[in-house]
Chain A
Amino acid sequence: MSARVELREVTKRFGAVEAVAGVSLEIAAGEFLTLLGPSGCGKTTLLRLLAGFEAPTSGTIWLGGQDVTPLPPYRRPVNQVFQSYALFPHLTVGENVAFGLRMQRVPAAEVKERVRQALELVSLTGLDARPPDQLSGGQKQRVALARAVVCRPQVLLLDEPLSAIDAKLRHAMQLELKRLQRQIGITFVFVTHDQEEALTMSDRIALVNRGRIEQVGSPPEIYNRPATAFAADFIGQANLLPARLVAGEAGGARVRLEGGLELRLPAGAWPEGVAEALVSIRPEKVHVAKSKSRARSKFPEDQTNTFEARIEEEVFKGATDHLRLATTAGTRLAAVVANESALGEVFHEGDRVFCGLHADDLVVLRLG
């Protein structure tokens, strides 16, 4: 029922602009894959190429093992949920949902039943006689979804479907979509610029930047081991610290950060033949303690870089504290600590603290 999707060396040029540059991607059948990236990165173009609204300048597109590159949208076993919903204003909700089935010349009785099921699936039972302009944003979204899903496509494309919905409803709908996908098992290709959304919903994320895919992986993979500076910065927060190689040691490398702090990196962490790079560490992975003994109890010595710092700024955010740390030498870091319990430590501006960075939490990224 659902299909595997493949893009092979797909390029799309609009005039002089290369919106998609030599992209190759494999999406497994039944997978929930998100194309994530900033505005203008080409993710929507990729989606439109899959749908058939654009034809690639070069490269091929395969669905379920078939080359669908020359096929127009109405011949592909693909359906799309549009960002603006694109509900037909001259048809009722029921007629909208039935549209695709009518185009397939499904018999009327079957149409009626399948429409009812689709509306039930998206929790809109009973609204089939309503005209679209009387629906709320969330309801319209669900009608658009029902309309696409009822056609039983092999792949469902979703173009930022939740971007126009307010925050609270959006969270609920994210989970609902995820549940739905699990339930009906269709391959979902989801486009968004919201990294939190991507992390919540996806089986895998493809990070798109300037027409290229920078990294593909599961949310934890992308989060913990970003492959590029863009990846590290786009998802979550990251300290991107410019570092210079000081010396290659037997078990690894020693690098110096701006402001003088030196770190030891494990073997293989620093790329060969490179003098300067970025060291990335997520703020929540910066361990902070008020006393040295406390710090030592947390961190095993041989795998951790420890250093002293002063809290320059502290922002209380309820469940977490956001700290800006500065070493005596001037290296600056952002850290996030959880306010675990009344027994936990309380941090204030101006405190002297001991910090630790675990080797496995450090990611070295090439410059540029």
Chain B
Amino acid sequence: MSGVESAGGARRAPGWRAWALLAPLLAWLLLFIVIPTGILFVYSFCERDELGRVVYTFTGESYARVFDPIYLRIFGWSVGYAALTTAICIVVGFPVAYQIGRARDPWRHRLLLLMMVPFWTSFLIRTYAWITILKQEGLLNAVWQALVPGHGPLDLLYTPTAVMIGLVYAYLPFMILPIYGSVEKLDPALIEAAHDLGAGQLRVFSAVIIPLTLPGIAAGTLLVFVPSIAMFAITDLMGGARVPLIGNVIQNQFMQARDWPFGAALGMVFMALFAVVYWVLGRWREREEAAG
């Protein structure tokens, strides 16, 4: 029996109203995610003609090319950059999230707002702003040369350092917000109890605060690590397009190289990688919850 019979005789199962409310979301998911993914999946097994149009003959050639050492190396670089970005975001973002979470109103809301305000500007404009700051004749160098005359200008733009700055800057709020959520839920009595039991500042952190904010850190990691692997705009704009990351390669296939099947194959493998990461993290969290 799936529902409870109400007085009027109608079943109170997940009624049509629930489905009606969900329908727009389901339609959106279907139209913009499921179907396009399906199309890409089909393309990944196709060939291309000289004009770059898709020819519907079955071939696994594109997938074979994906596992070419060149592209595996690029995958590796992309994952490496993403991992470094995530690590830096954790190190930089945690103290910020902690301070905001422990701040008293009205400061807490003000700080949150301050952190969100950049979001109201387009991401691309903010990236260009960084170019203005980091370029040889930019703001940073103006300040630097005023402070340290005689030293040459800092060569920051179009280097991996600039790319890291851009990536961390873009993704930091995605790390701060989930951690802030965890910190907010932290009972201050627990920290006092830890102190009371002999834990100094550092040990309170490692023994109590970090374990209890781990859900926030995990959520932040998912929100930062996974999207940053595919980020291509920042390497192009701030990195001088010197090191192609997987996002650049995929974009290239759909634009200049006009090899859609290969791009689709790369995309499919990429999605499989994500699925594996999510699954692994999900299982880890389940195990943590069962044990803890």
CB within 8 Å of B: which residues of A? Answer: 51-53, 72-74, 78-80, 82, 84, 86, 88-90, 99-100, 102-104, 131, 147-148, 151
Contacts and interface: CB of A to CB of B under 8 A. Distances in A.
Interface in B179-211: 187, 189-190, 192-200, 203, 207-208, 211
A63 to B, nearest CB: 14
Contacts, number: 63
A79 B212 contact: no
B195 A73 contact: yes
B292 interface: yes
A86 B190 contact: yes
B197 A79 contact: yes
A74 B196 contact: yes
Contacts of B212: 88-90
A103 B199 contact: yes
B183 to A, nearest CB: 15
Secondary structure class of chain B's binding surface, majority of residues: helix
B198 A103 contact: yes
A86 to B, nearest CB: 4
Given A88-B193, A100-B198, 6 more contacts: A51-B196, A74-B199, A84-B189, A99-B199, A102-B207, A151-B197
A7 to B, nearest CB: 18
A104 B196 CA distance: 12
A125 to B, nearest CB: 22
Contacts of B197: 74, 79, 99-100, 103, 147-148, 151
A147 B194 CA distance: 11
A78 B198 CA distance: 9
A80 B191 CA distance: 13
B211 A80 contact: no
B117 to A, nearest CB: 31
Q: Specify which of A53, A79, A103 lies most central, judged by the most chain B CB atoms within 10 Å of its CB.
A: A103
Contact of B292 (A86, A100, A131): A131
A335 to B, nearest CB: 45
Contacts of A86: 187, 189-190, 192-193
A88 B190 contact: yes
B182 to A, nearest CB: 12
Contacts of A90: 211-212, 292
Nearest to B189: A86
A73 B204 CA distance: 12
B209 to A, nearest CB: 11
Nearest to B198: A103
A151 B194 CA distance: 13
Contacts of A100: 197-198
Nearest to B200: A74
Interface in B16-61: none
6 closest cross-chain pairs (CB), A and B? A103-B198, A100-B197, A86-B193, A86-B189, A73-B195, A90-B211
Interface string B247-285: 000000000000000000000000000000000000000
A113 to B, nearest CB: 18
Given A86-B192, A104-B198, A99 B207 contact: yes
A127 to B, nearest CB: 16
